[in-house]
Amino acid sequence: MRSISIVGVGLTKFGEHWDKGLKELIAEAGTLAIEDAGIGKVKIQAVYAGCMASGRFNGQEHIGALAADVLGLNPIPATRLEGACASGGLALRNAYLAIRTGEFDVALVVGVEKMTEVDTGDAGFALGGASDAETELFAGASFPALYALMAQAHMAEFGTTEEQLAAASVKNHKNASQNPYAQFRNEITVADVMKSGYVASPLKLLDCSPITDGAAAVVLMATDVARKMNAARKAVEIIASAQASDTLDLAHRNNLYETAAAKKAVQDAYRQAGISAKDVSFAEVHDCFSIAEIMAIEALGFCRQGEGGKFTADGHTAIGGKTPVNTSGGLKGDGHPVGATGVKQAIEAYWQLNNLAGARQVRGAKIGLTHNVGGSGATAVIHLYRKA
Question: Do the domains spanning 4-118+211-237 and 142-206+239-387 agree at the CATH topology level?
Answer: yes
Contact residues for 137 (Cβ-Cβ < 8 A; gap 6+): 125, 128, 129, 131
Cis link prior to 77 (omega < 30° from 0)? no
Q: Which fold has domain 4-118+211-237?
A: Peroxisomal Thiolase; Chain A, domain 1 (3.40.47)
How far is C-alpha 9 from the chain's CA centre? 15
pLDDT at 121: 86
State the catalytic residue, choosing from 85, 208, 288, 303.
85
Q: What is the rounded CA–CA span in Å between residue 378 and residue 243? A: 11
Domain ranges of the chain: 4-118+211-237, 142-206+239-387
- Answer for the pair 372, 338: CB distance below 8 angstroms, yes or no: no
- Which pLDDT belongs to residue 5? 98
Give the pLDDT confidence score for residue 194 in this predicted structure: 98
Residue 17's alpha-carbon distances to 57, 302, 337, in angstroms, are 14, 36, 11
Amino acid 388: pLDDT: 83
Residue 76: how many other CB atoms lie within 10 Å: 17
**pLDDT value of residue 285:** 98
| CATH superfamily to which 142-206+239-387 belongs | Thiolase/Chalcone synthase (3.40.47.10)
Q: Which of 173, 286, 336, 371 is catalytic?
A: 336
What pairing do the DSSP bridges indicate for beta strands 47-50 and 78-81? parallel
pLDDT score of 163: 98
If residue 155 lies in a helix (H) or strand (E), which one and from where to where? helix 143-158
Does the CA dihedral 207-176-328-114 come out positive or negative? Answer: positive
Burial category of 388 from C-beta neighbours within 10 Å (exposed 0-12, middle 13-18, buried 19 and up): buried
Written as tens digits, the pLDDT of the chain (388 aa) is 799 999 999 999 999 999 999 999 999 999 999 999 999 988 999 999 999 999 999 999 999 999 999 999 999 999 999 999 999 999 999 999 999 999 999 999 999 999 999 888 888 889 999 999 999 999 999 999 999 999 999 999 999 999 999 999 999 999 999 999 999 999 999 999 999 999 999 999 999 999 999 999 999 999 999 999 988 899 999 999 999 999 999 999 999 999 999 999 999 999 999 999 999 999 999 999 999 999 999 999 999 999 999 999 999 999 999 999 999 999 999 999 999 999 999 999 999 999 999 999 999 999 999 999 999 999 999 999 999 8
336 is catalytic: yes
Active site residue 316: no
